[in-house]
Structure 1
Amino acid sequence: MPDWSYHTMFKHILTKVPGHIGREFIHRSMNSIASIPGGNQLIHFLGHMNPSPTLAVKLFGIPFSSPVGLSGKVDPLLSGTRAFSNLGFSFVEVGPVTKRKQQPSVKPYYERETLNVIFPEELESLGIDETVEKLQGYNGVNLKKLIRLKGSNEEIIELIKKLSSFSDAFILDFKVDILDHFITVIKERSKNLPILLAITPDQLSSKNDQLSCLIEAGKIDGVVIDADCEDSSFTSLKACVNKIRSIHKHIPLIVSGGINEPEDALEIYHAGVNLFMLSSGYITSGPGLPKRINELLDNNQKREPEIFSGWIWYWLFGLAVFIGGLLALLFSMTRIVLPYDEHFLGISRNDILNFNKNLLYFMAHDRMTLAGTMISGGILYMSLARYGIKYGIHWCRKAVNIGAITGFLGILLFIGFGYFDWLHGLFWLILLPFFLKGYFSTKTINATPVSVNKRNHQAWKLSLYGQLAFIILGFAFIIGGLVISYIGATFVFVQTDIGYLCMPPEMIKKYNEALIPVIAHDRAGFGSALFSVGLLVLMISLWGFREGDKWVWWSMLIGGFPAFLAGITIHFVIGYTTFAHLLPAYVAVALYIFGLIFTYSFLMKGENK
């Protein structure tokens, strides 16, 4: 559930139902998707949320792919664990785990005044038996697990016996009766797994001496600051971090809660926190928060980007598509039917005009829409190469490869109609070397994008609606391309086409049997191109929207203009203005304009305060 769907649709619904019901609906849904074959790949496709390898940290001898984890308060029933590994999290907190099941009457709730989720003092717990059963099912999930234990000293020792094989570290709540001897016993029973002590800001103020004694004695391996108390604030959280760091410079420090925006995580990270677990902020800011934090942290490292010279081959591939589109546009505006078309048909352009001039105009309509789509596709390919692949951005290369390969496969549709257009075949052969050279010379590309987005400001919130509009537009192009290709491969004409031509296909076939295969070839060509460009629009919309990335906005603006201009203008030029036929185009234009307007401030104005 990416931010563009969570904030624009689901959040408005979920905030009106009890929090625990909405939580379980989301987590169970995501977990179900992640559990089916290809589910993880689908979640990854929608979000590309994996953290950059440069964010990897090692703590307690344990490798973490990034500093970002998820608090157990968010998923106490372990309903969504399988999906969290795809959302940019490096680890999850499990628990609190108690000996017996806990179902407190007070549930977490959304407080509209503060826009925060309030967690009760007593949290839900599955109990040890069900927790073990759940963890057994998540053995293959690529997430580190920090298990929080709750209960009497005797119960905690019993819990550790059953959970040691599933845990990377244990978290204990700070209590007055936590003694050196007790922690020593726990260490032995857990086979020397790291023991972390969780303490609230209030406890730190009153029990700092006791905490210091445990740290100096080497009894605990790290400290967890629980920042989700009702009277806690980000300022008090920073004060706690600074206080501990001033006394204990090297003790591993983890913060649980208190982070609502990417900049909060950056500030805490700079203050000396090693890891942080999202809680209320994950719910209020949306599931994209870990990705936004990872990209901001990566940007903060200020590395010089590596330049990949192979980008130029992808750019030349896009340029060739662009030029091919211009040539197709020129032909569609002049001759329409080329000499090799006439040779295949056995009749001339004038013969078609004399038979039914609308038939020639109809062919111009198919060929001009194809030309506009090719020009738009070429612009997008060149932009992705120049502003993404050049700097090693993996998602840009992936988008170009998927778009290009589906475009190449479209030639198979042409062959099926008994009419092989040699010019299309030649064009295919010209494009292929550029693509293959680009593909093989950039195989080592694996950089993840960085982001400057720090706050949940208004421009970011509005951009999610614009992003959703572009995503719908991309899906619409893909579906439209499939439908048009199917029509071209089967009955060729829809009812509005027949109305414009004023004659049934049987009459056209009777006049010249080769005419329908040529028209079907044109339709398939347009459908294939629309499908390919739709994939490009979709992938840019899913993976490329980051604050201040002007090139994305300009690519959408300039890239969309030729397709819409050619596709709509030709209908009015030839008089094919049936409203039902043009309605999909009108809707697409509306989505295009809406997307440009609502993403402008976020993409074009850079950092917003």
Structure 2
Amino acid sequence: MPDWSYQTLFRPLLFRLPPKLARDLTLHAMGALAKLPGGRLLIRTMGHMEPSPLLESELAGVPLPYPVGLSGGLDPRGVAHRALAQFGLGFIEIGPVTVRELKDSRTIRRDIPNEAIVYPDAAANPGLDATLRRLQRKRGHPLPLMLRIRSMPGSSPAQALQEERRLLAELRPYAAAFYIEAPDPGWPLQESLAHLQAIAASAERLPQDARQADAAPPLLLYAPPDYPQERLAQLLHGIRSAPGPWAGVVIGDAACGEGGAIVGRACRDAAAERVALLRELGGPEMKIVAGGGVHEPEDALELRRAGADFVQLHSGLVYAGPGLAKRINEAILYETLRASEAPAPPSFWHGWGWMCLLGLGMIVGGVLAWIIAATTVVLPYDTAFLGMEPAALTQANPYLLGFMSHDRVTLAGTMISIGIIYGQLAYHGLGKGLHWAKTALTTSCIVGFSSFFLYLGYGYFDPLHASAAAILLPMFILSMRRQEDLPPRERPNLLNDRIWRRAQWGQLMMVSLGLALAIGGLVISFVGVTAVFVPEDLQYLCATPEMLAAINDKLLPLIAHDRAGFGGALFADALALLAAALWGIRQGSRWLWWTFLLGGLPGFLAGFSVHQQIGYTNAWHLLPAYFAFALYVLGLLFLYPYMMSRQAGSPVDQRQPGPSAHIKRKSMT
């Protein structure tokens, strides 16, 4: 469920359902997909979150692949964790966990205008025993788990300490770190500090986990975004002045509000204020996790500017979509790279130049094939194979050469499209070390070169195609020589604005186009090596396969070779287009928009023009082409404002200073 399908199709449908039902349906569907063979690979393929060592970090010795985590409140029973772990998350919070189950049958509500979710009781959870049973099962992902524990509502300080000690002891084998909820602000300060010190002492006495044999589990103080700042500062001073495994502070995502706990955009400013205060008081060494109101990449950057090291997602995934973690990672990576000098581009002959030559070869070959297909149609070796001249074929069936021309012109247009896409991906993708471009080219070329063997399906060897493959194959091999993958240096999208939302429709159109063309290529190839014709073909030819075989017993292999070859080329073209649509669309990627435009024109022009020229205008036969062309045009229109825009600077530079820029504080002692 990437953003281009979530924003356009699934979110409008899910938001018509009650919030809890919509959440359960979504999480169970994602969890079921992740359990299927190849399910997690499919999820990763849809998102293609490229790892980068620049995003790796540590939280009190716990290695994290990404600085973005998942809040425990989004999936309290963990049914979709193995799926969500593929979205670019670096850690997962489990909790809150209490010693006994806390039920709440009241309705969860959405506040759509304010992009918020209202939970009647944010502490509701299945309890310790159910959580342990879940953690004992295979979790299906390697991400570290942050266990958030709290006492039962209404517990006295003594009861709370006993409960949390039990939670620490029983959850220790599964916890990379513990989030310890801050005591109720109504407790006396000294009693709160004594409680936290006792928790830290208990954590240090726990049996050590084999993976962390030299250290007690790291503890992080967890406070909601509306926790009183003065009390938070006092608690921070207390835990920092006393020995213990305290590693930092978490500012959570649920604030008290009318009707329950509010998780949403409104929490960001309050979270940023507390993060800035904590960073000022705690210094650069203390780790800070912020989980309030992150709904777009700019929110995460604001919290990081205020002093957060990590962010957690909850309501943002509901309102923005599952791609939010990836978008935040890309924004953080860009901020990390923007001050550094770009590496020198690889030389023309080191990889990308050879692919450019391959693309140029496809274009030249396609133009020549188009000229031949529109004039003589058949080549001398075709005539030699058949043992018949073109005039004899026309005399036997006046539609035959036109039908063969239609196959060969559409193949020629597809070859030109492939050449344009390959050249663009080589220059702008391989030349800049983009991993997704290399993956797209590798996949498409392997399919394209392998499709040569489809030409042999009916026993016809095409020497021209064989010669072209022999010339182009070394170029592909040379272009794929090992080279370093580099992160993109184009400024990523930071806002969930109208242009971004419209672009999700454009991406949906382009992905659908790639899938439709891929299916079409597979079907054409299958028909080419089996039945050769569809009913509309035979209707146009006014003949049956037996009648055509009676004209010349080698005629069917020749036509089958054309059809299978075109299907294979179309499939290779579709894979390159699909990969670019899935992974390459970014705000300001003007070159890729032009690639979509120029790469699609030759194929559609060839297909529509040759059908009109030979009079093969059966509406049912051309319906898939009309449908594909509609997707192509709509995709270009919806993507134009997003991909052709030039981002002048960070949106934060164009706003009034936020809470992270100037926060008035009372003097505290």
Using structure 2 for the length normalisation, give the TM-score: 0.88
Please tell me the residue identity of whatever aligns with 1:165: P
- Aligned pair partner of 1:257 in 278, 283, 292: 292
Q: Deviations over 1:359-383 (max 9, x none)?
A: 0010000000000001001111111
How far the C-alpha of 1:414 sits from its partner, in A, is: 0.9
Indicate the residue corresponding to 1:368 in structure 2: 409
Deviation, structure 1 residue 448: 6.1
Measured in 1, the distance between the counterparts of 2:545 and 2:255 equals 73
Aligned: 1:98 with 2:98: yes
Q: After the TM superposition, which residues 464-503 of structure 1 pair with which residues of structure 2 at under 5 Å, given as runs?
A: 464-503=504-543
Matches within 5 A, 1:390-539: 390-442=431-483, 444-445=484-485, 447=487, 451-539=491-579
C-alpha distance in structure 2 between counterparts of 1:86 and 1:432, whole Å = 34
1:50 Cα offset (Å): 4.0
- Number of the residue aligned with 2:136: 136
The Cα of 1:259 is off from its aligned counterpart by 1.0
How far apart are 1:216 and its partner, in Å? 2.8
Which whole-Å CA distance do the structure 1 matches of 2:62 and 2:83 have between them? 22
Displacement of 1:426: 0.5
Which residue matches 1:247?
Answer: 281
Deviation of 1:236 (Å): 2.3
By how many angstroms is 1:181 displaced? 2.8
Question: Which secondary structure state, in structure 2, belongs to the residue aligned with residue 388 of structure 1?
Answer: helix
Q: Does 1:195 align with 2:219?
A: yes
Distance 1:565 1:136, change over 3 A: same
Please tell me whether residue 334 in structure 1 is matched to residue 375 in structure 2: yes
SS of the residue corresponding to residue 189 of structure 1 reads coil
Q: Aligned with 1:344: secondary structure?
A: helix
Structure 2 distance, partners of 1:315, 1:271, is 45
Q: Mean alpha-carbon deviation: is it higher for 445-454 or for 505-514?
A: 445-454
Using the alignment, how far apart are the partners of 1:114 and 1:201 within structure 2?
Answer: 17
User: Which of the numbers 583, 595, 601 marks the counterpart of 2:623?
Assistant: 583
Distance in 2, Cα, partners of 1:243 & 1:259: 19
Identify the residue that residue 72 of structure 2 maps to in structure 1.
72
| Aligned counterparts of 2:518 and 2:224: Cα–Cα separation in 1 | 52
Offset of residue 29 of structure 1: 1.6
Q: Does 1:286 align with 2:311?
A: no
Cα RMSD, aligned residues only: 1.7
Measure how far apart 1:116 and its partner are: 1.7
Amino acid at match of 1:129: D
Segment of structure 1 superposing worse, 577-586 or 226-235: 226-235
1:600 is aligned to 640
Q: CA deviation at 1:63?
A: 1.1
Going from structure 1 to structure 2, the CA distance change for 1:181 and 1:357 (only over 3 Å counts) comes to: same
Q: Which residue of 1 aligns with 2:168?
A: 160
Match of 1:228 among 247, 254, 258: 254
CA distance in 2, matches of 1:322, 1:120: 62
| Correspondence for 1:84 | 84
Change (3 A) 1:423 1:201: closer
Identity of aligned residues (%): 39
Query: Structure 1 202/360 Cα, relative in aligned 2: closer, same or farther at 3 Å?
Result: closer
Shift of 1:305: 3.8
What is the CA distance between 1:461 and its match in structure 2? 0.3
| CA distance in structure 2 between the partners assigned to 1:171 and 1:96 by the alignment | 9
For residues 531-574 of structure 1, what are the alpha-carbon distances to aligned partners after superposition, in whole Å with 9 as ceiling and x for unaligned? 11111111111111111111111000000000000011100011
1:261-311 alpha-carbon deviations (Å, 9 max, x no partner): 100101211222111111111211110000000001111121444423321
* Aligned 1:211-222 pairs, distance under 5 A: 211-219=236-244, 220-222=246-248
| Conserved 8 A contact 1:118-1:230 | no
Match of 1:120 in 2: 120
Whether 2:136 is the aligned partner of 1:145: answer no
Displacement of 1:190: 6.5
Checking the alignment, whether the CA contact within 8 Å between 1:50 and 1:87 is kept in structure 2 is no
Partner AA of 1:203 in structure 2:
Y
Distance 1:210 1:528 in 2: 66
Secondary structure at 1:85 match in 2: helix
Structure 2 SS opposite 1:410? helix
Task: Quote the Cα distance in structure 1 between the aligned partners of 2:301 and 2:389.
Answer: 70
In the alignment, what sits opposite 1:357?
Answer: 398
Q: Secondary structure at the match of 2:125?
A: coil
- State the distance in 1 between where 2:377 and 2:463 align: 16
**Aligned residue number for residue 169 of structure 1:** 177
Please, what TM-score do these two structures have when normalized by structure 1? 0.97
Q: Against the structure 1 CA distance between its residues 297 and 586, is the aligned structure 2 distance closer, same or farther, given a 3 Å change threshold?
A: same
- Once residues 202 and 352 of structure 1 are traced to their aligned partners in structure 2, the CA distance between those partners, rounded to angstroms, is 84
- Between stretches 70-79 and 239-248, larger displacement belongs to 239-248
Whole-angstrom distance in 1 between the partners of 2:279 and 2:110: 33
Query: Aligned equivalents of 2:373 and 2:226: distance in 1?
Result: 75
Please list the CA deviations of residues 25-54 of structure 1 after superposition, one character each: whole Å capped at 9, or x if unmatched. 222222222222222111111110244221
169-178 vs 339-348, which moves further: 169-178
Distance 1:211 1:291 in 2: 32
Please say which of residues 338-347 and 295-304 is displaced more in the overlay.
295-304
Q: Which residue of 2 aligns with 1:12?
A: 12
Q: Is the CA contact 1:104–1:123 (under 8 Å) kept in the aligned structure 2?
A: no
Q: Distance in 2 between matches of 1:153 and 1:347?
A: 95
Distance in 2 separating the partners of 1:345 and 1:487: 22
Larger mean CA deviation between 565-574 and 37-46 belongs to 37-46
TM-aligned CA deviation for residue 446 of structure 1: 5.9
Alignment of 1:8-47 (within 5 A): 8-47=8-47
What letter matches 2:223 in structure 1?
Answer: I
- Number of paired residues? 608
**Distance in 2 (alpha carbons) for counterparts of 1:210 and 1:503:** 88
Aligned partner letter, 2:580: I
For 1:160, give the aligned amino acid.
L
Is 1:393–1:449's contact at 8 Å kept on the other side of the alignment? no
> Could you tell me how far apart the structure 1 residues matched to 2:548 and 2:606 are?
26
- When structure 1 is superposed on structure 2, of 245-254 and 5-14 the one drifting more is 245-254
**Structure 1: unaligned runs, 5 residues or longer:** none
